[in-house]
Amino acid sequence: MLIWMEPDCDFMILPALVALLLVQGSGSVYSYNLSIMVVNGGAAIDCTNEYSPCHALLNQNIFKNSSGQTAVIESVTMNGADVPWEIKTDPDGNPVIKIIAADPILPNRNATVVMRFRINIDRSPPEVDPALSGTLAEIPPQLKAMYPLTGIWDPSGLEDPDEVFGLAESIRAGEDNVLLILRNLIIWFEENMVYSYNNTTPQTVWKTYKGLSGDCDDQANLFVLFCRIYGIPAYTAIGPIYMPGQERSDSDHNLHFHTKDVGWHGWAMVYVPSRVGDGNWVPVDLTYFQGGVQRGGHIVSADWRQHILGAALYWRDAAVFIEYKNYDHISEYARMRDAIISSDCLWVESHQMSPVVGPAYAEFLSPPILVALVASAALLAFSVWILWRRR
């Protein structure tokens, strides 16, 4: 069993949620509905057991406030009635809602949690100019120390760390300018990585590297590994994109997921120092960006900058749901998935997104790119709650 250190943070109860109040801006506003139902079998489910489906139901990651994004929880109900709840943070600083309900789920009964969010997104792409980019030496040491080779990026999880580190240096080719290092990495990914869809357990970084294939978050995780090898702060972000007309269902044993008008996506966030001021965090989107084209399984661009300037974070108003920074969420997800699959219940999870203010995208995407957006379907509310399971 994984042992957790309790984070140094205080409880925030319902009245304190003014911190999450929506700030109307000039960007887009979206409504997001999440419904999770646990259909129980013949035995009561203890909600205090950290690996029980009931405990998973009551502890969920939620949308976070970040640069260019504010969110509000509009309602939380359980079995049709309002319920009390609290907010804390997971080990990577993501907000987590804890629904206060201790009663077990009785045999042959259902328990359903429904949450409604409103998300305001107002972002603009950064300037991407290698002449203004700082060097590796200009990355603040204290920031670099916050993004070590740990969690899913721990070298001990690589079967041949020397091979990976050697390739990383070969790709860098002696370059010291951080933005140009990202350019070299992006070009390598375009030339070598093939998109592949996986709707169940996320891949390890080693499997993505060795197979030279993976979906959106798999490739983002590998990109982050290379960045951290260089000492460049980076992490993986995951969140939904409004996709009108898209409806998809996925199943993994007794786990069932349904999304309507929404696709889930993953990308890398990388710190780029500046020679003329403060540095910036920029997205590097490897699988879904404006101008991306699929050729023989490779998703390529006409200009490497498109992976940043045309990233879904800007192009499609991707909402930031969770940021994976230093925790090994892949191993923990596998443990929790196995526990749910071995239980006598069904987990049924549904997501729907709709625009309130701003552009309503009507165009459909080509299938190869569209599938990249649903690659994290099995990593929605069920899987991300595991970051919070320690007590």
Give yes or no: residues 156 and 115 share one domain.
no
Structural domain for 111, as ranges: 12-123+350-361+376-388
Q: Tell me the pLDDT tens digit for each residue of 104-160.
A: 999 999 999 999 999 999 999 999 999 999 999 999 999 999 999 999 999 999 999
In the chain, pLDDT over 70 holds for what percent of residues? 84
Give yes or no: residues 196 and 321 share one domain.
yes
Q: Tell me the pLDDT tens digit for each residue of 13-42.
A: 233 332 333 333 458 999 999 999 999 998
If one counts the domains in the chain, the total is 2
Q: Tell me the pLDDT tens digit for each residue of 216-262.
A: 999 999 999 999 999 999 999 999 999 999 999 999 999 999 999 99
Give yes or no: residues 157 and 278 share one domain.
yes
Q: What is the structure's pLDDT at 384?
A: 42
The arithmetic mean of pLDDT across residues 94-109, rounded, is 92
* Residue 71 included in any domain: yes
* Residue 42 included in any domain: yes
Give yes or no: residues 96 and 237 share one domain.
no
Give yes or no: residues 225 and 92 share one domain.
no
Give yes or no: residues 183 and 288 share one domain.
yes
Give yes or no: residues 92 and 144 share one domain.
no
* Residue 163 included in any domain: yes
Q: Tell me the pLDDT tens digit for each residue of 35-67.
A: 999 999 989 999 888 888 999 999 999 999 988
* CATH code, domain with 230: 3.10.620.30
Q: What is the structure's pLDDT at 9?
A: 29
* CATH code, domain with 29: 2.60.40
Give yes or no: residues 186 and 103 share one domain.
no
* Residue 228 included in any domain: yes
Name the average pLDDT for the chain.
85
* Residue 2 included in any domain: no
Under the banding of pLDDT at 50, 70 and 90, the label for residue 102 is confident
Give yes or no: residues 40 and 74 share one domain.
yes
Give yes or no: residues 380 and 279 share one domain.
no
Q: Tell me the pLDDT tens digit for each residue of 328-338.
A: 888 878 888 88
Give yes or no: residues 55 and 168 share one domain.
no
If one counts every other C-beta atom within 10 angstroms of the C-beta of residue 92, the result is 17
Give yes or no: residues 110 and 172 share one domain.
no
Give CA separation, 176 vs 136, 179, 182, 316, 318, in Å: 6, 9, 10, 32, 31
Q: Tell me the pLDDT tens digit for each residue of 282-292.
A: 999 999 999 99
* Residue 370 included in any domain: no
* Residue 6 included in any domain: no
* Residue 257 included in any domain: no
